[in-house]
Amino acid sequence: MSVLFTCFSGLLSRLQTSSPTVPALSSSKSFSQNIPSCLWKLGRLNHVAIAVPDLEKAQYLYKDVLGAQVSETVALPEHGVYTVFVELGNTKLELLHPLGEKSPIASFLQKNKTGGMHHICIEVDDIKAAMTELKKKKIRILSEEPKIGAHGKPVIFLHPKDCHGVLVELEQA
């Protein structure tokens, strides 16, 4: 089961073992009593990050061809990237381009010459509680402490091998 839905595992097991009849909502027992409590909660999808070999061409595509609102380029040396955000209304795309030879995006682009999806970012209401609980559940976090991300908020990354092949960024809401 995906780490993103771990808090709902109790509900899933209850549904799998219950009879096919649906209990009335007016029962005296609260539905939420059967869901394990989490000290943190997943929020909305903040962005999907795309590694691009040519940032200017990518900006042109989203701004001039597709008509999206595109931010200015921002250098994030502590993460080894240049970022550009594309506003989509309900979420954003984050265009990533390498900053320096040791950039994780440079190594990604060596394996994926034309670029591609790099990670997804999901907001959480308590990043420290999320870290504590995920470590207990043997989910690898790629740094000991949160780093400040492109939005000026603490972020962590979860190992893709623990998240069904997807690099997941969690960002403090």
Give the domain extent around 164: 42-172
Q: 130 lies in a domain?
A: yes
- Between 79 and 39, where is the model more confident? 79
For residue 71, give the CATH number of its domain: 3.10.180.10
pLDDT in the model for residue 37 = 66
pLDDT in the model for residue 34 = 53
Q: 85 lies in a domain?
A: yes
**Band of pLDDT at residue 17, cut at 50, 70 and 90:** very low
Q: How many domains does the chain have?
A: 1
Q: 21 lies in a domain?
A: no
Q: 90 lies in a domain?
A: yes
- What mean pLDDT is reported for the chain? 85
Q: 52 lies in a domain?
A: yes
Q: 11 lies in a domain?
A: no
Q: What is the model's pTM?
A: 0.77
pLDDT at residue 2 tops 80: no
pLDDT at residue 80 tops 60: yes
Q: 6-10, 39-43, 105-109, 112-116 — which is least confidently predicted? A: 6-10
Which tokens sit at 55? 């940032």
DSSP code of 22? P
Under 8 Å CB-to-CB from 96, ≥6 apart: which residues? 49, 50, 51, 52, 81, 82, 83, 105, 118
Could you tell me where the DSSP H helices lie in 81-126? Answer: 104-111
pLDDT at residue 12 tops 70: no
**What mean pLDDT is predicted for residues 100-116?**
94
Q: 57 lies in a domain?
A: yes
